[in-house]
Amino acid sequence: MYYVYVIRNPKGILYKGFTDNVTHRVLQHNADDGFFSYTKNRGPWKLVYSESFQTTVEALQREKFFKTGKGREFLKLTIGRLSA
């Protein structure tokens, strides 16, 4: 199983990613152990949304969509409903 996930920091910045283990990946984003990513020193990060897929191709296509204008709008509406 593969996942596309969205994490948010206290400033409201969203980061979209792809992984085969969401829990481990979020821990990596929040770790101070040399893991390098855009998210380093910008956390703490909290998982706010995820979707699962059978193949890497499907997951990567969805991640790419989330990084488009329509994808960002979808996430804004969806995460807003989940937070309310």
29-49 pLDDT, tens digit each: 998 776 677 888 888 999 999
In this structure, which amino acid lies at residue 74?
F
Delineate the domains of the chain, giving CATH numbers in brackets.
2-83 (3.40.1440)
- As a whole-number percent, the residues of the chain with pLDDT over 70 amount to 93
pLDDT 10s digit of each residue in the chain, 84 long? 999 999 999 998 999 999 999 999 999 999 877 667 788 888 899 999 999 999 999 999 999 999 999 999 999 999 876 654
